[in-house]
Amino acid sequence: MTDTTSPAVHSPGLAGIVAGRTAISSLDGRLRYRGYAVEDLAAGADFEQVAFLLLHGELPTADQHAAFVRRVWQAAAAIDPAVVASLAPLAHREPAASVMDALRTAVSVLGQVELDNLPGNRSVLVAEAERLIGQVPAILAAWLDLTAGRPVASWPAGPGGEPMPLARALLARLRGRPASDAETRLFGTTLVLYAEHEFNASTFAARTVVSTGSDMHSGICAGIAALKGPLHGGANEQVLDQLCEIGSTDRAEAWVNERLAAKRVIMGFGHRVYKDGDERAVLLGRLARETARGTPAEQLEDLADRVAAIMLERKGLKPNLDWPAARVYHALGLPVRVFTPIFVVARMSGWTAHIIEQIGDNRLIRPMSAYIGPPPRTLPPQRDQEHPRDQGH
């Protein structure tokens, strides 16, 4: 084959290519949401404050925060019955559809329920975004109920029926028991850290879809589809599988060596953007260790540290966010199959913010390709073909 690459720079996977501009987050040395360092937000803000910041550009006042919590909670508590009805047949099959596929399907149905055919103005888009931030976690919890063969439970409320913050409500629904303050803070921190990450694969997919003039729900479906892949969101589930497969620290070195010799990817390490380590992984890793101290989970932390040390020595790779997130979710008693869907719940805030930004200053995303096929060729002349006479059949 002949390489007829154009003079334009070709970067596989668009690595290092600036494909657009955004005011939502930056990765210039450290991750910031709307200018705020992510570690500061993780330590001093809850998920609703961060979601409000991503959507509206500024942190909310106390009154705005309370109103936002209420709107998100109301959306979660009022899922249209048509959405649940559309999922029920899929949940009752053997085997049931994957959780990610269920979420993608449900968002598509939500788009039809809300008649979301074309993008509206900014206020309409923001209202859609706020509803989706509440609806998607409620759908996740409903799917777990459906696949377990039990009635879909109502979305949790606080004392006196007051709105419950999303982190506390979702953790309670996923586990079937109330969450403590410490558990809620830890879980909420993971949502903040997963909320936004510039032009990652799923965000870029969502922006590409809406750049065509399509609607928000279609863009979100694309984001979920991209996040499903193990090289993006699906890695956090595989991290725990790997640690369980290793089992103990004395097997760690042999397991890593075997994996590397077979040229198999070890999930939870390396990042396209962070060449000197993922600051989110450092922050959450510290919290994972603190949470496990004095419990049986401490052995898993020791194993994780041992694998991380070997990977740094062998490959020069440091953990990414998926490495500690899997351990935190395991320590919180969550089933592995909801790890990536929780990523979806958190990233709804970032995806919707990017969709609104793309629609607000849109240009169709249409990159060029470098052709590496055959050189120009001429179609050979076609010989006349004799056709059998019609025999009347």
The β-bridge relationship of strands 32-33 and 36-37 is antiparallel
Q: What gap in Å lies between CA 120 and CA 128, rounded to an integer?
A: 10
User: Starting at the edge strand that comes first in sequence, how are the strands of the sheet with 25-26 ordered?
Assistant: 25-26, 32-33, 36-37
Instruction: Assess contact for 185 and 195: CB atoms under 8 A.
Output: no
DSSP string spanning 109-156? HHHHHTT--S---HHHHHHHHHHHHHHHHHHHHHHHHHHTTSPPPPPP
Instruction: Assess contact for 106 and 83: CB atoms under 8 A.
Output: yes
Find where tokens 């509440």 sit: 134
Q: What gap in Å lies between CA 39 and CA 42, rounded to an integer?
A: 5
Tokens of 357: 């930004």
Q: Give the residues across from 269 on adjacent strands.
A: 319
Backbone angles phi, psi at 36, to 5 degrees: -90, 130
SS3 at position 179: coil
| Nearest partner of 156 among 102, 76, 64, 97, judged by Cα | 76
Backbone angles phi, psi at 372, to 5 degrees: -125, 25
Identify whether 271 is a catalytic site residue.
yes
| Nearest partner of 107 among 265, 223, 276, 198, judged by Cα | 223
* Catalytic hit among 46, 197, 322, 330: 322
* Catalytic hit among 271, 278, 330, 354: 271
Instruction: Assess contact for 34 and 53: CB atoms under 8 A.
Output: yes
Whole-number Cα distances in Å, 135 to 42, 102, 214, 355: 23, 13, 20, 17
Whole-number Cα distances in Å, 331 to 55, 168, 241, 244: 31, 16, 14, 13
Active site residues: 271, 322
